[in-house]
Chain A
Amino acid sequence: MTAVEVWTPVCTVADLIPNRGAAALLEGNEQVAIFRSSTDEVYALSNIDPFSGAAVLSRGIVGDLKGVPVVASPMHKQHFDLRTGACVDDPDVTVAVYPVRVEDGTILVGRP
């Protein structure tokens, strides 16, 4: 019995501006925030800002803090590690990270 992997194609890499995010809708009304770095790495986190409950992380500013790639929530500016979902400002908080694959320029998002 093998586990069923679900991958949802959401957009092409070219649909994303480097260093800016976009929101995508998965099945069951789940929302992910997808980011493309300037070196074309692609990250996917839950789009829900855990501090406000609003679906806004995809609209945050992307950058780095002491070398850690982060997105800053546009609501109250907490920073989340794009690789792990860990909140840099509050070690007790983490957002879900989604696996990402790029095939032929198409971004596919899996289950966390």
Chain B
Amino acid sequence: MPRTLVVAGNGPVGHRLVEALRDRDTAGEWRVEVFAEESRPAYDRVALTSYVDTWDPLALQLDGATYEGDDLVTLHLGDPVTAIDRTARKVSTASGSTVEYDALVLATGSYPFVPPVPGHDLPGCHVYRTIEDLDAIRADAERSTRGRRAALVVGGGLLGLEAAKALRDMGLSPHVVELAPRLMPLQVDDGGGGLLRNLIEKLDVTVHPGTGTQSIEEDRGRLLAKLGNGTELDVDLVVFSAGVRPRDQLAREAGLAVGERGGIAVGPDCVTSDENIYAIGECACVNGMVYGLVAPGNAMAEVVADRLLGGQSTFERGDLSTKLKLLGVDVASFGDAHAKTEGALEVVFNDAVAGTYKKLVVSDDAKTLLGGVLVGDAAQYPLLRPLVGRDLPGDPAAMIAPAGGAPAVGVGALPDEAQVCSCNNVTKGAINGAITEGCVDVPGLKECTRAGTTCGSCVPMLKQLLEAAGVQQSNALCEHFPQKRAELFEIIRSTGVHTFSELISRYGTGHGCDICKPAVASMLASLGNGHILDGEQATLQDTNDHFLANMQRNGTYSVVPRIPGGEITPAKLMVIAQVAQDFGLYTKITGGQRIDLFGATVDQLPEIWKRLVDAGFESGHAYGKALRTVKSCVGDTWCRYGVQDSVRLAIELELRYRGLRAPHKIKAAVSGCARECAEARGKDFGVIATEHGWNLYVGGNGGFTPRHAELFVSDVDTETLFRYIDRFLMFYVRTADRLQRTAAWIEAMEGGMEHLREVIVDDKLGICEDLDAAMAKHVESYADEWAGVLDDPAKLARFRSFVNAPGTPDPTITFREERGQSVPLGMPAVVTR
């Protein structure tokens, strides 16, 4: 009988605790009841500002936040814990239920502090913490229509600047008021704050440092804010971001000890004054310190998960280092950024021209790094932060000097116990351990160690560690070509080489193999090189492409005609049925809304396809690394919930991209409403209808490592949708590695989804015209591959069982009957595994 853990709070830290516990609790010792105040599963509050890009709450949802499929976790949304009965060890919740616990974890987070300024509670005044807060800000921002729309942000710390960015993205001109003489007073010093202000004011954000907000009044439908320095601002809305306070009310009412300035008092073991109750994250006060950052909260979550299973780990001292991009400006602060250590020395480079400010704080002998501030360029942060408290590898000034002979700080300088990923507390030693155990790339390291999975700032370090460990990050396609696929693609495209033999003699060595031949064949096909069985190309194709069918375990093939969008007339359905009947083919509906006919021999393939082509079918490319299907739900033609015609769009998309050869198979789907019956988010590209247009998601797949596609653009019209998908697919075809699905391609891309958006939407690389033209050429030159075989006696001649006995069936192929259909009879393998 498992014990019961009650978790009060479902923010990122509460979720991390449940995840960490469920990861380790393989024996199922604990059953977890999570009580959440908000009505949606845990989401990434750190990335709250990015909600403005998509207005899609799901895009922020944390991985695994619904605990779907985990019988040991129950998530109660919109039902916060309201009281704790410590004697009976049970909690009551808002819905009136009571639950007994063996252990209770308080992860109630914090609430925004609103200074008692007169008028702070007027309509139009907001805080900045939840998705609902942003929805309310958006509603107000859209309501105001008169004049130049402006907003006041009270508080110029990290959160205030995030809020300013969100407001600017909503089309308002933000004013930021900060009591301290500089922005981000907790993280940066005066010098860094000065530069930060300059950089940020260039972005249409007005900064009012060294003054407070005295009052807010209603004024002819807008708000009038009066500042301490006499400035008066007409604004449409006000956002308070003046810090947060720990939510310790529940603990206070239950008589638990709290810190002097609030926060539930815990020791390094995260245990409160009641041994059965823990507190973690922003509501906890660890040895007198309250941490308002996610990384220390995650570390506490890991400590409690470990202790619940009998471990002894402790939370030592939270790392307050921060690196972020605020309004496009890099800011990083780490260690003793304000040089409070006795005798600390500061080394500063302030380059106003380049717009960078760099400061290192070092010990009095200039040997040990204590901390630092980087503004404008924080590229050195991942290497500097782990060095805090350690001997510097060189002269501190040289390390941050503007370009020119400075010795680069390398990963080699770090000791094994140095923390490389501060979000997930992963040391250099742990990463090297994973490399020794066989991790060969960054995605592998992410999976094994979790390093780089939160803020991503340590990813460059992971690459360096792989290199330092001698893991060859070889991009060579195979032993015959030193180039990676994308490079070969560019070579073929720019030189016009159109045969494998010319390509390998000019750019490779040897005769080729089963890796490079199909890869080159695919690239030639993507570039429109005629029929895939023309001339030498026929010798490059894998057996599936060579016979335009899918080889099965006994050497027979399966046949999949294209059924665009999964829509088919009864008459065509009867043709398929008749063909299957006449050739004795095992028949099954596929996952892609079409029909697969199994058990055809090579001799039978042309006869089967003759019948299918005559009835108007064409190749479904189920055999190729190519567009497979565009699945759809029935859409608004029939469905009473549908908002758009998903079937029509799916058919148009499938006909547009049919035959497109790619580094791997491409699957797609279109759903006619947000209920998502077509499962579009499980596809390489998925489209979901909205009231106003279409939302496009990219980078999803099923398979070994299932991934949900992520929102790429929302509410676009059909023309824009086609344009973006055209570019997405062409860019993928040109730059992905061999057998790399879109999800892995995006993940491996420097800059990830954001970069992809810049390329496709903003045309940052200036290649969109070219991509558009390439797709137009593909659409124009498409021809059915099977019709091409049937029309050509030379190609037809290859479909024979035996060169000296055409038409004689392969004697090794035999069938038995199962559930009324033919299935292969097992064949004796010579080698047993």
User: Does B510 sit at the interface, judged by CB under 8 A?
Assistant: yes
Residue in A closest to B826 when the chains form the complex, CB atoms:
A53
Interface string of B540-557 (1 = CB under 8 A from A): 111100110001011100
Which residues of the partner chain A approach B511 to less than 8 Å between Cβ atoms?
19, 38, 63-64, 69
Tell me which of B803, B810, B811 has the highest count of chain A C-beta atoms within 10 A of its own C-beta: B803
> B353 to nearest A CB, angstroms?
55
User: Are A61 and B803 touching (Cβ within 8 A)?
Assistant: no
> A87 to nearest B CB, angstroms?
9
A20 vs B830: C-alpha distance when bound (angstroms) = 24
User: Are A52 and B812 touching (Cβ within 8 A)?
Assistant: no
Interface string of A1-44 (1 = CB under 8 A from B): 00000001111000111111011110001010010001000000
User: Does B473 sit at the interface, judged by CB under 8 A?
Assistant: no
Answer whether A19 and B543 are a contact pair too, CB < 8 Å, given A10-B803, A25-B808: no
Residue in A closest to B556 when the chains form the complex, CB atoms:
A54
User: Are A64 and B510 touching (Cβ within 8 A)?
Assistant: yes
User: Does A111 sit at the interface, judged by CB under 8 A?
Assistant: no
User: Does B805 sit at the interface, judged by CB under 8 A?
Assistant: yes
User: Are B551 and A75 touching (Cβ within 8 A)?
Assistant: yes
> A8 to nearest B CB, angstroms?
8
A31 vs B813: C-alpha distance when bound (angstroms) = 12
User: Are B512 and A63 touching (Cβ within 8 A)?
Assistant: yes
A63 vs B481: C-alpha distance when bound (angstroms) = 13
A10 vs B802: C-alpha distance when bound (angstroms) = 9
User: Are B830 and A23 touching (Cβ within 8 A)?
Assistant: no
User: Are B553 and A52 touching (Cβ within 8 A)?
Assistant: yes
> B542 to nearest A CB, angstroms?
7
User: Does B263 sit at the interface, judged by CB under 8 A?
Assistant: no
Answer whether A50 and B539 are a contact pair too, CB < 8 Å, given A64-B510, A64-B513: no
User: Does A102 sit at the interface, judged by CB under 8 A?
Assistant: no
User: Does B437 sit at the interface, judged by CB under 8 A?
Assistant: no
User: Are A54 and B514 touching (Cβ within 8 A)?
Assistant: no
User: Does B591 sit at the interface, judged by CB under 8 A?
Assistant: no
User: Are A19 and B539 touching (Cβ within 8 A)?
Assistant: yes
User: Does A72 sit at the interface, judged by CB under 8 A?
Assistant: yes
Q: Which of A70, A74, A90 contacts B543 (CB 8 A)?
A: A74
Q: Which of B480, B512, B539, B802 contacts A23 (CB 8 A)?
A: B802
> B452 to nearest A CB, angstroms?
32
User: Does B517 sit at the interface, judged by CB under 8 A?
Assistant: yes
> B505 to nearest A CB, angstroms?
11
User: Are B514 and A72 touching (Cβ within 8 A)?
Assistant: yes
User: Does A48 sit at the interface, judged by CB under 8 A?
Assistant: yes
Answer whether A60 and B543 are a contact pair too, CB < 8 Å, given A25-B808, A52-B553, A53-B827: yes
Which residues of the partner chain B approach A53 to less than 8 Å between Cβ atoms?
812, 827-830
A44 vs B808: C-alpha distance when bound (angstroms) = 20
A9 vs B828: C-alpha distance when bound (angstroms) = 28
Cβ < 8 Å to A, chain B residues 812-826: 812-813
Q: Which of A31, A59, A66, A69 contacts B812 (CB 8 A)?
A: A31
> A22 to nearest B CB, angstroms?
4
Which residues of the partner chain A approach B798 to less than 8 Å between Cβ atoms?
17
> B499 to nearest A CB, angstroms?
12
User: Are A54 and B554 touching (Cβ within 8 A)?
Assistant: yes
User: Are B539 and A62 touching (Cβ within 8 A)?
Assistant: yes
Which residues of the partner chain A approach B454 to less than 8 Å between Cβ atoms?
none
User: Are A31 and B538 touching (Cβ within 8 A)?
Assistant: no
User: Does B145 sit at the interface, judged by CB under 8 A?
Assistant: no
User: Does B479 sit at the interface, judged by CB under 8 A?
Assistant: yes
Residue in B closest to A59 when the chains form the complex, CB atoms:
B543
**What is the size, in residues, of chain B's interface with A at 8 Å between Cβ atoms?**
40
User: Are A66 and B479 touching (Cβ within 8 A)?
Assistant: yes
User: Does B831 sit at the interface, judged by CB under 8 A?
Assistant: yes
User: Are A17 and B803 touching (Cβ within 8 A)?
Assistant: no
Tell me which of B516, B541, B805, B808 has the highest count of chain A C-beta atoms within 10 A of its own C-beta: B805
User: Are B804 and A10 touching (Cβ within 8 A)?
Assistant: yes
User: Are A18 and B539 touching (Cβ within 8 A)?
Assistant: yes
Which residues of the partner chain A approach B833 to less than 8 Å between Cβ atoms?
51
User: Does A97 sit at the interface, judged by CB under 8 A?
Assistant: no
User: Does A56 sit at the interface, judged by CB under 8 A?
Assistant: yes
User: Are A52 and B829 touching (Cβ within 8 A)?
Assistant: yes
Answer whether A17 and B538 are a contact pair too, CB < 8 Å, given A31-B810, A51-B831: yes
Which residues of the partner chain A approach B802 to less than 8 Å between Cβ atoms?
22-25, 31
> A81 to nearest B CB, angstroms?
13
Interface string of B784-804 (1 = CB under 8 A from A): 000000000000001001111
Tell me which of A9, A11, A64 has the highest count of chain B C-beta atoms within 10 A of its own C-beta: A64
Residue in A closest to B805 when the chains form the complex, CB atoms:
A25
User: Are A72 and B808 touching (Cβ within 8 A)?
Assistant: no
Answer whether A63 and B513 are a contact pair too, CB < 8 Å, given A17-B538, A25-B804, A54-B812: yes
Answer whether A24 and B803 are a contact pair too, CB < 8 Å, given A54-B553, A63-B511: yes
A10 vs B808: C-alpha distance when bound (angstroms) = 14
User: Are A74 and B831 touching (Cβ within 8 A)?
Assistant: no
User: Are A55 and B551 touching (Cβ within 8 A)?
Assistant: no
Which residues of the partner chain B approach A25 to less than 8 Å between Cβ atoms?
802, 804-805, 808
Which residues of the partner chain A approach B827 to less than 8 Å between Cβ atoms?
52-54
Interface string of A57-92 (1 = CB under 8 A from B): 001111111110110101101010000000000101
Residue in B closest to A55 when the chains form the complex, CB atoms:
B812
> B201 to nearest A CB, angstroms?
60
Residue in A closest to B552 when the chains form the complex, CB atoms:
A54
User: Does B386 sit at the interface, judged by CB under 8 A?
Assistant: no
Which residues of the partner chain A approach B281 to less than 8 Å between Cβ atoms?
none
Q: Which of B554, B805, B808, B830 contacts A50 (CB 8 A)?
A: B830
A43 vs B123: C-alpha distance when bound (angstroms) = 86
User: Are A17 and B801 touching (Cβ within 8 A)?
Assistant: no
Which residues of the partner chain B approach A52 to less than 8 Å between Cβ atoms?
553, 827, 829
User: Does B599 sit at the interface, judged by CB under 8 A?
Assistant: no
> A16 to nearest B CB, angstroms?
8
> B502 to nearest A CB, angstroms?
13
A93 vs B811: C-alpha distance when bound (angstroms) = 23
Which residues of the partner chain A approach B518 to less than 8 Å between Cβ atoms?
61
User: Are B803 and A67 touching (Cβ within 8 A)?
Assistant: no
> A67 to nearest B CB, angstroms?
7
Which residues of the partner chain A approach B803 to less than 8 Å between Cβ atoms?
10-11, 15-16, 22-24, 34
User: Are A65 and B812 touching (Cβ within 8 A)?
Assistant: no
Which residues of the partner chain A approach B510 to less than 8 Å between Cβ atoms?
63-64, 67
Tell me which of A10, A25, A54, A66 has the highest count of chain B C-beta atoms within 10 A of its own C-beta: A54
A55 vs B602: C-alpha distance when bound (angstroms) = 12
Cβ < 8 Å to A, chain B residues 597-649: none
> A94 to nearest B CB, angstroms?
10
Which residues of the partner chain A approach B538 to less than 8 Å between Cβ atoms?
17, 20
Which residues of the partner chain B approach A34 to less than 8 Å between Cβ atoms?
803
A51 vs B812: C-alpha distance when bound (angstroms) = 15
Interface string of B482-516 (1 = CB under 8 A from A): 00000000000000000001000000001111101
Residue in A closest to B833 when the chains form the complex, CB atoms:
A51
> B381 to nearest A CB, angstroms?
44
> B298 to nearest A CB, angstroms?
42
The 22 listed contacts between A and B (C-beta, < 8 Å) are A9-B804, A17-B798, A22-B802, A24-B804, A48-B812, A50-B831, A51-B831, A52-B553, A52-B827, A53-B828, A54-B555, A54-B827, A59-B543, A59-B551, A61-B517, A63-B513, A63-B517, A65-B479, A67-B510, A72-B513, A75-B553, A92-B831
Closest 3 CB pairs of A and B: A50-B830, A72-B514, A74-B543
Residues on B lying within 8 angstroms of A by beta carbon are: 479-480, 501, 510-514, 516-518, 538-543, 546-547, 551, 553-555, 798, 801-805, 808, 810-813, 827-831, 833
- A sample of 16 more A-B contacts (CB under 8 A), given A53-B829, A56-B551, is A10-B803, A10-B804, A15-B803, A20-B539, A48-B830, A52-B827, A54-B555, A55-B810, A56-B555, A59-B547, A63-B513, A63-B514, A63-B517, A77-B514, A79-B514, A93-B830
